Chains A and B, each alone.
Chain A
Amino acid sequence: ETGVTQSPTHLIKTRGQQVTLRCSSQSGHNTVSWYQQALGQGPQFIFQYYREEENGRGNFPPRFSGLQFPNYSSELNVNALELDDSALYLCASSKGQGGLAGGGGTQYFGPGTRLLVL
């Protein structure tokens, strides 16, 4: 069983640029969630995709957007990068929308992409 993978592992961008981060979900999982983890903080929920549609969003501006593909992999796009966007971006995959029948929706995390905005 393949775990959650993310690419790239590290990225350096300048303020105002755009970035795309990628995530491949664990086999059998159809839900992908994205989190931002600033240095010294816990992960903050950005949004979640279930069957290619966004079904939940945290307190992040619209310049944070995403996609989920038919194979359940996902992209996180951030436009007009700001210095405060520097963080570790984590992707987590899970099965179903919740409930014990779906494995309770336990989220399994990838290793993250570390983004530095200069």
Chain B
Amino acid sequence: AQSVTQPDIHITVSEGASLELRCNYSYGATPYLFWYVQSPGQGLQLLLKYFSGDTLVQGIKGFEAEFKRSQSSFNLRKPSVHWSDAAEYFCAVRGSGGYQKVTFGTGTKLQVIP
């Protein structure tokens, strides 16, 4: 069964500092990987996705993520955080077959301090 672990429940960073959110997945074959962001009371917005090819993926809002198969990780990074980045971030995994069940991690809540 597929699973996602986000080990950090809550992270606080200063505005302008760099950010890395951790994600580890478990899946038997090549996974499809996603990062979504959720603002309070809102739905999920797709930040970026990895299907194949270049293991460094660029997304919206200046985010990037790197797929490391050997470590079963897909960490999200941003070089300089803005106050508007405060939100909850979810990593997700999906199989590459026809059935599209997406499994989410429990999320990391990001707080940005001025």
B100–A56 CB distance below 8 A: yes
Total A-B residue contacts, Cβ distance less than 8 Å: 74
Interface residue tally for chain A (C-beta within 8 Å): 31
- Chain A residue at minimum C-beta to C-beta distance from B49: A106
A66 within 8 A of B: no
A55–B49 CB distance below 8 A: no
B100–A109 CB distance below 8 A: no
* A45-B42 Cα distance, complex, nearest whole Å: 18
- Chain A residue at minimum C-beta to C-beta distance from B100: A105
* A42-B4 Cα distance, complex, nearest whole Å: 10
Enumerate the 7 nearest inter-chain pairs by beta-carbon distance, A residue then B residue, closest first. A42-B104, A97-B98, A109-B44, A111-B43, A109-B43, A105-B100, A42-B106
| CB-defined A-B contacts under 8 Å, sample of 6 | A6-B43, A42-B90, A56-B99, A97-B99, A98-B100, A99-B96
